[in-house]
């Protein structure tokens, strides 16, 4: 990775565009803990690295910064995530208008809270609005659940869930915490089989397996607290997995895949909840969804809160020049 940094004077101190690599992720994680946003993923370095597996940068100064990523599914588009720090509106304005310092491409303000007055004013000034995301995982709201409620699975809201779990147990499904040294090949086998049944539409095979490869690489190289569970059938064949990042009191879902087996997906969410309950983690962030079916599945887990997010398209005032900033994260590609 080329470690060049672009600087320009935007105020009393230099604003910097710097590429983020694996070695930078622990520092990014610490900086993200300053976020005051409702969105739990605003504090997940692993989430940003997974989404920005084709290119990831930090833009700002010591007081205020934002994460910028190449869109993983739309070539020629970069994502500008909400800034963190003291002068968020000023940095957002700068990122929306400066033509030749950021990585080249169409710009989208990503994971915006449409009710935040700071962004509402800024978008109104530029005659744009936050609309529903059409590709990535915040097309539907981010859901946070209580893992103890899933483990207990009591009452009418969990009637269907209990039935699926009972079917999974009758079929001999088993789960355990992921050991990367033992289970990496099993995880890859599951995601490849899962992707084979789903690619061919708007997502390519690389789109479907790339995030999992990126997270597996982070486990080996980033120093972030990434954990997971893996499920096997009665014959010991891997049939599902879930990987998440633990940050403080919250576990943030990163990637998951479950093959078609009776109760397999429900058994997987129970396995994650059991691990979190055993270690005293009180909140389980299931994330948002790309599809209504997945959103409906997550809603059955009785969220304790949900966060709706949007995306805003930005018109840059003049053609973007190609800057001398390169070097996407060297994450594994599917």
Contact 250, 194 (CB under 8 A): no
Structure tokens that stand for 48 in this block: 């940003």
Report the predicted TM-score, pTM, of the whole model to 2 decimal places.
0.90
pLDDT at 110 over 80: yes
Average pLDDT over all residues of the chain: 89
Rounded Cα–Cα distance for residues 240 and 245 (Å): 18
Rounded Cα–Cα distance for residues 184 and 219 (Å): 10
pLDDT score recorded for residue 68? 97
Q: Reduce the DSSP state of residue 76 to 3 states and report it.
A: coil
pLDDT score recorded for residue 52? 97
DSSP string, 159-200: HHHHHHHHHHHHTT-EEEE--HHHHHHHHHHHHHHHHHTTTT
pLDDT score recorded for residue 298? 96
* pLDDT: which is higher, 315 or 201: 315
- Choice among 12-21, 207-216, 222-231, 318-327 with the minimum mean pLDDT: 318-327
Cα dihedral sign, 76-81-84-86? positive
For the beta carbon of residue 323, count every other beta carbon within 10 angstroms.
14
pLDDT at 331 over 80: no
* pLDDT: which is higher, 237 or 114: 237
Rounded Cα–Cα distance for residues 321 and 334 (Å): 30
Structure tokens that stand for 300 in this block: 């059955």
Residues written for the chain: 334
Q: Reduce the DSSP state of residue 281 to 3 states and report it.
A: coil
pLDDT at 277 over 90: yes
Residue 2 banded pLDDT, cuts 50, 70, 90: very low
- pLDDT above 70 covers a percentage of the chain that reads 90
pLDDT at 44 over 70: yes
pLDDT score recorded for residue 164? 97
- pLDDT above 90 covers a percentage of the chain that reads 74
Rounded Cα–Cα distance for residues 126 and 78 (Å): 18
The per-residue pLDDT for range 301-324, each reduced to its tens digit, is: 999 999 999 999 987 655 444 343
């Amino acid at each position: 990775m080329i470690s060049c940094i672009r600087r320009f004077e935007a105020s009393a101190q230099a604003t910097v565009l710097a590429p983020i690599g694996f070695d930078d992720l622990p520092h990014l994680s610490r900086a993200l803990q300053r976020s005051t946003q409702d969105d739990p993923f605003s504090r997940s370095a692993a989430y940003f690295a997974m989404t920005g597996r084709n290119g990831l940068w930090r833009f700002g100064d010591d007081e205020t910064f934002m994460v910028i990523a190449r869109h993983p599914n739309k070539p020629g588009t970069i994502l500008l995530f909400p800034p963190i720090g003291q002068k968020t509106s000023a940095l957002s304005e700068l990122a929306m208008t400066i033509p030749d310092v950021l990585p080249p491409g169409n710009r989208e303000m990503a994971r915006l809270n449409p009710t935040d007055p700071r962004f509402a004013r800024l978008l109104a000034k530029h005659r744009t609005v936050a609309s529903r995301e059409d590709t990535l995982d915040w097309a539907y709201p981010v859901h946070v659940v209580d893992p103890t409620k899933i483990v207990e699975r009591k009452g009418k809201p969990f009637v269907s869930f209990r039935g699926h779990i009972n079917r999974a147990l009758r079929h001999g499904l088993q789960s355990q915490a992921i050991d990367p040294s033992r289970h990496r090949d099993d995880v890859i086998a599951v995601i490849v089989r899962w992707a084979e049944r789903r690619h061919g539409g708007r997502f390519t095979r690389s789109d479907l397996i790339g995030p999992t490869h990126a997270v597996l690489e982070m486990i080996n190289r980033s120093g972030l607290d990434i954990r997971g569970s893996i499920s096997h059938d009665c014959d010991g064949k891997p049939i599902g997995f879930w990987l998440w990042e633990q940050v403080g009191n919250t576990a943030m879902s990163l990637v998951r895949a479950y093959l078609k087996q009776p109760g397999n997906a429900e058994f997987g969410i129970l396995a994650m909840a059991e691990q979190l309950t055993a270690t005293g983690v009180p909140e389980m962030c299931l994330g948002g969804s790309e599809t209504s079916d997945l959103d409906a599945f997550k809603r059955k887990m009785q969220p304790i809160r949900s966060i709706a997010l949007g995306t805003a398209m930005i018109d840059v005032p003049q053609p973007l020049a190609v800057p001398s900033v390169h070097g996407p994260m060297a994450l594994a590609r599917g």
